[in-house]
Amino acid sequence: MTMVFLNKEIRDGDNPDLTEERKTATFDTNKMAEVIYGSEKLARRRREISQAVSLIPELADSKPLPFLSRNEKILESTRKVTALNEHLPRLINMNDEDEAWHIHSEVIGFEGNPLALHHSLFIPPLVIQGSDEQHEKWLGRAKRREIIGCYAQTELGHGSNIRKLETTATYSLSTQEFILHTPTINALKWWPGALGKSSNHAVVVASLIIKEQNYGPHLFMVQIRDEQSHEPLPGIAVGDIGPKMAFNGADNGFLGFNNFRIPRGNLLNRHCNVEVDGTYVRPPHDKMNYAGMIRVRSRMAAEQGTFMAQALTIAVRYSAVRRQGFLENKSQEVKVLDYQTQQHRLFPAIARSYAFIFCGFETIQKYETLQNEMNSGNVSLMADLHALTSGIKSVVTYQTGEGIEQARMACGGHGYSMASYISEIYGCAIGGCTYEGENMVMLLQLARYLVKSVELAMRGKPGDLGPMVAYLAYPDIKVDLVTGPEAYVKMFQHISKRQSIKATEKFHRKMESGVSRDEAWNQCAVELTRASRLHTRLYIIETFIRRVDSIEDLSIKMVLTDLMNLHLNYELLDVASYALEDGFMSSTQMGFIKNQLYSSLEKIRPNAVSLVDSFQFSDLQLRSNLLNFLFQVLGRRDGHVYQNLFEWAKSSPLNQTEVLPSVTQYLKPMMEKAKL
């Protein structure tokens, strides 16, 4: 029997073009997977889980999803997630979030499902903001999936500016209840995933009002539907918001309250409280109620990195079996992966996927440290992590969107077909630019932090700068890029520092000229977001270097060094104008960076397929599975693309009949009429 994952993933019967690629690899893909996923155990568990899932037919799509209506998609995603629920205890360690995430993405893919938000946005705020008593009451039920929940914060009229949320939770002294109310159409909750038709509970974010004083956004546990009939409770209006760009297997919804009462104990009160007499007990940090958002953002680098990696796996494998045009040898057309332009399209994005995943591991760990500190009352790390994750979520989502789109174009016409699966990945991933804080808004949050840091440095207090921004006070010393990665970091530090200082000085000048602070901020906003992006890209580069430095296996270290060098040169080239502008970079250095970049592409070429194989996405996960060969097919591990594309097309509902009603009703009469 052929094993699912071999050293270089060579299997009998594969397309020989892919086999040839796998033979040229200089490293072991299993070992690389250990580096990607953080440990031998995690990488092995993923393979075991993929293998187990592939043997359970009911966990595969029963129909090609692109051919389904919205109702059918929701039915199918719900069928799969509930079937999965039955198998879960046997397949994964139920306390291991990584395993749970992996198995869900295997089975559900990118289309969404009614439980996706339950585990990522309903349970976490309950854990973070709920007291022990509240955990006792709801957490076990939620974890056992006796109840289904969502996170209802955004409203029709407000998403970014949550201080202005209009849904109110007014404390009634006489009944010791909160009265939830939606005063206007704009105040309807709008967007929460799985709210529309599936959830019976929601963590609702509403402005807390006590004795006519507004205490800002707070989190409340609210039952919205009857647990037996699933009908909305009296006083609640709830429904689906309609089809979206993607993620249509999930029911994002709206929610309105008509003076709906909940007990005082439903305010999630681990860190703040309203006492019986209406006394408000403040949390240890003003923005404590936003902590759940830091958690989600801290996971986005790794998440988006794997989204992009899936699109790249599809595009790189396909590029190795797609032959078109000639190079030197005119007797055989070349693999399109041999074109430098194709490599330039795909390889820097592979490097970014690795970089985002490595960076993601660090931010997830940082969040876990923050969480432990918060539990013991120390909130001093919140500001730093809020700034860092605000920048990272914005940069990685944008660059992931770019990378996936390049992957699509790299597949030519077939990339545009839903058979590639890339449009589904793109539609889901690109939502990340908006959800969990619109990117510009979040870049401006990081900019606040950078401006404050520059001000500290300007006031001669560099010692007060945290390690993340210490470079803002470093002197400018020219660097020789030939000396290696540290010189690239120094060059990037100079660029980032200069932009932060320029933006801050411009902001100060505006205010000195009499413009109000808010107006001055707005007039500098583009420059400020540029500073945030540069700072974040520098941070990502540094995490990449740290990770490569820590690797012991020589063959893995060598290929990752090639990938890291590609990343360094690509990133620096992309922002070179900032350093050319003040003469910190010479045109000779610019030429050096370009040459290094092209030589990195050549070095990576023989390892390209194995670099994406190392993510070890199963065919099921890429919707290119053998069990159901009718589904999306471009990223198949075995590379047999064309015959499966043909099968896919034949399965289109349009092809189930030779003459469509559109022809009999309209085209035929038109043609007949024309003959008269």
Ligand X SMILES: CCCCCCCCCCCCCCCCCCCCCCC/C=C/C(=O)SCCNC(=O)CCNC(=O)[C@H](O)C(C)(C)COP(=O)(O)OP(=O)(O)OC[C@H]1O[C@@H](n2cnc3c(N)ncnc32)[C@H](O)[C@@H]1OP(=O)(O)O
Ligand Y SMILES: Cc1cc2nc3c(=O)[nH]c(=O)nc-3n(C[C@H](O)[C@H](O)[C@H](O)COP(=O)(O)OP(=O)(O)OC[C@H]3O[C@@H](n4cnc5c(N)ncnc54)[C@H](O)[C@@H]3O)c2cc1C
What are 461's two structure tokens?
A: 């207090």
At 322, is the secondary structure helix, strand, or coil?
coil
By CB under 6 A, the residues from 438 to 457 that bind ligand Y are 438, 440-441, 444
Identity (one letter) of the amino acid at 675?
K
Type and span of the H or E element at 31: helix 29-37
**With respect to ligand Y, which residue has the nearer C-beta, 266 or 313?**
266
**With respect to ligand Y, which residue has the nearer C-beta, 394 or 618?**
394
Binding of ligand X at residue 356 (CB under 6 A)? Answer: no
DSSP string, 371-427: HHHHHTT--TTHHHHHHHHHHHHHHHHHHHHHHHHHHHHHTHHHHHSGGG-HHHHHH
**Partner from ligand X, ligand Y, none binding residue 152, C-beta < 5-8 Å depending on class:** ligand Y
**Partner from ligand Y, ligand X, none binding residue 610, C-beta < 5-8 Å depending on class:** none
CA–CA dist 104, 98 (Å, integer)? 10
Kindly state the smallest distance separating residue 34's Cβ from ligand Y, in Å.
32
CA–CA dist 110, 114 (Å, integer)? 12
Q: Quote the distance between the C-alpha of residue 7 and its chain's center.
A: 29
Q: Look at residues 306, 302, 310, 307 and name the one whose alpha carbon lies nearest to residue 358.
A: 302
Annotated binding residue 265: no
CA–CA dist 365, 386 (Å, integer)? 14
Longest dimension (CA), the chain: 90
Q: Who's near 14: CB < 8 A, 6+ residues apart?
A: 637, 638, 639, 640
Contact assessment for residue 647 and residue 629, using Cβ atoms and an 8 Å cutoff: yes
Please identify, among the stretches 137-145, 155-163, 474-482, 503-511, the one whose residues bind ligand Y according to the rule CB under 6 A: 155-163
CA–CA dist 235, 230 (Å, integer)? 14
Please identify, among the stretches 299-307, 436-444, 610-618, 651-659, the one whose residues bind ligand Y according to the rule CB under 6 A: 436-444
Binding of ligand Y at residue 151 (CB under 6 A)? Answer: yes
The residue from 176, 434, 599, 628 that contacts ligand Y (CB under 6 A) is 434
The residue from 152, 392, 540, 545 that contacts ligand Y (CB under 6 A) is 152
Contact assessment for residue 429 and residue 307, using Cβ atoms and an 8 Å cutoff: yes
Identity (one letter) of the amino acid at 660?
L
**Partner from ligand X, ligand Y, none binding residue 94, C-beta < 5-8 Å depending on class:** ligand X
By CB under 6 A, the residues from 391 to 430 that bind ligand X are 428
**Angle at which helices 439-458 and 382-410 cross, to 10°:** 130
Radius of gyration for the chain, computed over Cα atoms and rounded to the nearest angstrom: 27
Binding of ligand Y at residue 192 (CB under 6 A)? Answer: yes
Would you name the residues annotated as active-site residues? 436
Kindly state the smallest distance separating residue 247's Cβ from ligand Y, in Å.
5
Binding of ligand Y at residue 247 (CB under 6 A)? Answer: yes
CA–CA dist 625, 200 (Å, integer)? 34
Q: Look at residues 570, 571, 548, 550 and name the one whose alpha carbon lies nearest to residue 561.
A: 548
Q: Look at residues 353, 309, 351, 305 and name the one whose alpha carbon lies nearest to residue 603.
A: 351
Quick note: the x/- pattern for ligand Y over 106-135, rule CB under 6 A, is: -----------x---x--------------
Contact assessment for residue 272 and residue 218, using Cβ atoms and an 8 Å cutoff: yes
Kindly state the smallest distance separating residue 608's Cβ from ligand Y, in Å.
31
Annotated binding residue 193: yes
Binding of ligand X at residue 441 (CB under 6 A)? Answer: yes
Binding of ligand Y at residue 431 (CB under 6 A)? Answer: yes
By CB under 6 A, the residues from 148 to 177 that bind ligand X are 151, 153-154, 160-163
Q: Look at residues 660, 647, 648, 563 and name the one whose alpha carbon lies nearest to residue 612.
A: 563
Kindly state the smallest distance separating residue 73's Cβ from ligand Y, in Å.
15
Kindly state the smallest distance separating residue 378's Cβ from ligand X, in Å.
13
By CB under 6 A, the residues from 283 to 342 that bind ligand X are 287, 290, 293-294
**With respect to ligand Y, which residue has the nearer C-beta, 83 or 441?**
441
By CB under 6 A, the residues from 80 to 119 that bind ligand X are 88, 94, 100-101, 104-105, 108, 110, 116, 119
CA–CA dist 107, 623 (Å, integer)? 9
Binding of ligand X at residue 435 (CB under 6 A)? Answer: yes
Contact assessment for residue 216 and residue 208, using Cβ atoms and an 8 Å cutoff: yes
The residue from 322, 386, 533, 535 that contacts ligand X (CB under 6 A) is 386
Kindly state the smallest distance separating residue 329's Cβ from ligand Y, in Å.
47
**Partner from ligand X, ligand Y, none binding residue 440, C-beta < 5-8 Å depending on class:** ligand Y
Binding of ligand X at residue 436 (CB under 6 A)? Answer: yes
Please identify, among the stretches 57-65, 280-288, 431-439, 595-603, the one whose residues bind ligand Y according to the rule CB under 6 A: 431-439
Type and span of the H or E element at 169: strand 168-172
Kindly state the smallest distance separating residue 109's Cβ from ligand Y, in Å.
15
At 597, is the secondary structure helix, strand, or coil?
helix
**With respect to ligand X, which residue has the nearer C-beta, 108 or 645?**
108
**Partner from ligand X, ligand Y, none binding residue 300, C-beta < 5-8 Å depending on class:** none
**Partner from ligand X, ligand Y, none binding residue 337, C-beta < 5-8 Å depending on class:** none
Give every strand in the sheet of 236-240, ordered side by side.
Answer: 189-190, 253-257, 236-240
Query: What residues does 190 pair with on adjacent strands?
Result: 254
Binding of ligand Y at residue 160 (CB under 6 A)? Answer: yes
Number of Cβ within a 10 Å radius of residue 1:
3
CA–CA dist 588, 145 (Å, integer)? 62
Contact assessment for residue 7 and residue 30, using Cβ atoms and an 8 Å cutoff: yes
Kindly state the smallest distance separating residue 173's Cβ from ligand X, in Å.
27
Binding of ligand Y at residue 153 (CB under 6 A)? Answer: yes
Identity (one letter) of the amino acid at 474?
Y
By CB under 6 A, the residues from 353 to 412 that bind ligand Y are none
Type and span of the H or E element at 23: helix 16-24
Binding of ligand X at residue 383 (CB under 6 A)? Answer: yes
Binding of ligand Y at residue 558 (CB under 6 A)? Answer: no
**Partner from ligand Y, ligand X, none binding residue 675, C-beta < 5-8 Å depending on class:** none
CA–CA dist 114, 81 (Å, integer)? 8
Angle (CA) 596-599-602 rounded to 5° is 155
The residue from 67, 101, 435, 629 that contacts ligand Y (CB under 6 A) is 435
**Partner from ligand Y, ligand X, none binding residue 116, C-beta < 5-8 Å depending on class:** ligand X
Binding of ligand X at residue 663 (CB under 6 A)? Answer: no
Q: Look at residues 531, 618, 669, 624 and name the one whose alpha carbon lies nearest to residue 51.
A: 618
**Partner from ligand X, ligand Y, none binding residue 108, C-beta < 5-8 Å depending on class:** ligand X
Please identify, among the stretches 53-61, 169-177, 379-387, 624-632, the one whose residues bind ligand X according to the rule CB under 6 A: 379-387
Q: By CB under 6 A, name the binding residues for ligand Y.
A: 117, 121, 151-154, 158-160, 191-193, 247, 252, 431, 434-435, 437-438, 440-441, 444
Residues at the contact surface with ligand X, assessed by CB under 6 A: 88, 94, 100-101, 104-105, 108, 110, 116, 119-121, 151, 153-154, 160-163, 193, 287, 290, 293-294, 382-383, 386, 428, 431, 435-437, 441, 445, 448
Question: Which amino acids are annotated as binding site, given as ranges?
Answer: 154, 193
Residue ranges of the annotated binding site for FAD are: 154, 193
